[in-house]
Amino acid sequence: MAVRSTEVLVSGASVAGPTLAWWLHRHGFTPTVVERTPALRAGLGGHAVDLFGPAVDVAEWMGLLSQVQAARTQTELVVLERPGRRPIEVDVSGLVAGISARHVEIMRGELTSILYEATRGDVEYRFGDSIRSLDEDGDGVEVTFEHGPPRRFGLVVGADGLHSNVRRLVFGDEAPFRHYLGGYLGVFTLPNYRGLQGRMVAWSAPGRTVAMYPVRQTGEARALFLFRAAEELHHDHTDLEAQKRLLRQAFSERTWELPRILAALDGAPDFYFDSITQIRMPSWSRGRVTLVGDAGYSPAPAVGGGTVVAVVGAYVLAGELRAAGGDHSRAFHGYERAMGELVRRSRGIGPTTMKTLIPATPRQVWLTNQALRLIPRLPGMLQRRLWAFQARPARALEAVDLGRYREPAGA
């Protein structure tokens, strides 16, 4: 049975998926979103993510910017604590001014909730399910699911993250597409026992950094652990206890708040552990299937840029599908061409950010601390220039021109 290319299955309901669904619906397509988790992740789940310049524009064009701004984390200050020494305080607005004049930090779960609420009336969501197989023929894709009945779609888009299921089904194992940046991250929720409000506290040693920040809507806090490892660690990705052991081994000394924070790890309601790895694919479309966001071109978690490319990628893909008038080959080609430069630039962010975020040697820790201490004391113009220099790869994301996708055909 022929199926129209306007019927699009999107796998993943986090950032890229619902953003794509919103724009597809706006352009006259019929998106269906399938999400593995049984319900939308609790509104405040996940971690703090950053929307910069072009992603803020997209949120504004969706009419969601005021909601996004109202939900922002309101973390204004980073305090680098050094046991026995004076802490170093850094204004977040100064740090991000070097990247973009437009910035909103928001919990990823909050952003997802806003996007879901904006689409749920027009888009079919199927929670608690996952694609089992994709079988493409001349005029459509036959899809089977883990739970629901099989269905046919015109196009399928994988918006299912770093370890994308759609990528695996269409392009095979993720190993050839992984590019390890030399570190790991762990995140979990804990009580806000320090009573943090509007500030993040952090501790750093060569090759290791920990930050704790408040989630103002819940009164809880999140701890983020980052550490360098020259080689990838071999561990079972489904074994949470083994991952917790690795984190404890990497942060075994009894200093700062480490013992107290790590004591909260066992009782944590959530725990995310992964390598800091990019996804690099020469092309992320095949036939009637394409990828968007982390699934196709993650610039690596926690080191910046992922949410911007996910939002912009979703917007551009929908725009190219509209412009191609149903010709998916032309649309996917246009989408990859339009995103290519942005994706390449986003890959420069992680390695640069890691130098400041996880200084590798005692000398680098010292240099980073000096910079953090001194730059805020310089005149405003010089400060902005220095931050901008340090943030050059992230700043490059500003350059993308999104204007041409703005108006629907015939509008």
Binding site for ligand FAD (CB under 6 A): 11-17, 34-37, 47-50, 108, 130, 159-162, 165, 185, 187, 272, 293-295, 298, 301-302, 304-308, 310
Cβ-based nearer residue to ligand FAD, 163 or 330: 163
Instruction: Select 295 or 391, whichever has its Cβ closest to ligand FAD.
Output: 295
Q: How far is the CB of 50 from ligand FAD (least distance, A)?
A: 4
State the nearest-atom distance from the C-beta of 280 to ligand FAD, in Å.
15
Closer CB to ligand FAD, residue 295 or residue 316? Answer: 295
**Beta strand 48-52 with 30-35: parallel, antiparallel or unpaired?**
unpaired
Contact indicator for 23, 315 with CB cutoff of 8 Å: yes
- β partners of residue 155: 8
Q: Smallest gap, in angstroms, from Cβ of residue 182 to ligand FAD?
A: 16
- The closest of 131, 129, 155 to 290, measured between CA atoms, is 155
25 versus 108: smaller Cβ distance to ligand FAD: 108
Instruction: Check if the beta carbon of residue 300 is closer than 8 Å to that of residue 276.
Output: yes
Closest approach of Cβ 304 to ligand FAD, in Å? 5
DSSP 8-state symbol, 95: H
Considering the complex, state which of residue 76 and residue 407 has its C-beta at the smaller distance from ligand FAD.
76
For ligand FAD, the closer CB: 57 or 294 = 294
Give a three-class secondary structure readout of 244-308: HHHHHHHCCCCCCCHHHHHHCCCCCCCEEEEEEEEECCCCCEECCEEECCHHHHCCCCCCCCHHH
Cβ proximity to ligand FAD, 330 vs 392, nearer residue: 392
Nearest to 153 by CA among 164, 165, 144: 144
CB of 58 to ligand FAD, least distance (A): 13
105 phi and psi, to 5 degrees?
A: -100, 130
> Shortest Cβ distance from residue 256 to ligand FAD (Å)?
20
Q: How far is CA 53 from CA 58, 237, 325, in A?
A: 9, 35, 29
To the nearest whole angstrom, how small is the minimum distance from the Cβ of residue 224 to ligand FAD? 6
Measured between its terminal Cα atoms, the distance across the chain in Å is 32
Tokens coding 70: 């109202």
Whole-number Å distance between alpha carbons of 96 and 383: 11
Q: 44 or 308: whose CB is closer to ligand FAD? A: 308
Residues near 340 by beta carbon (within 8 Å), at least 6 away in sequence: none
Least separation in angstroms between CB 386 and ligand FAD: 21
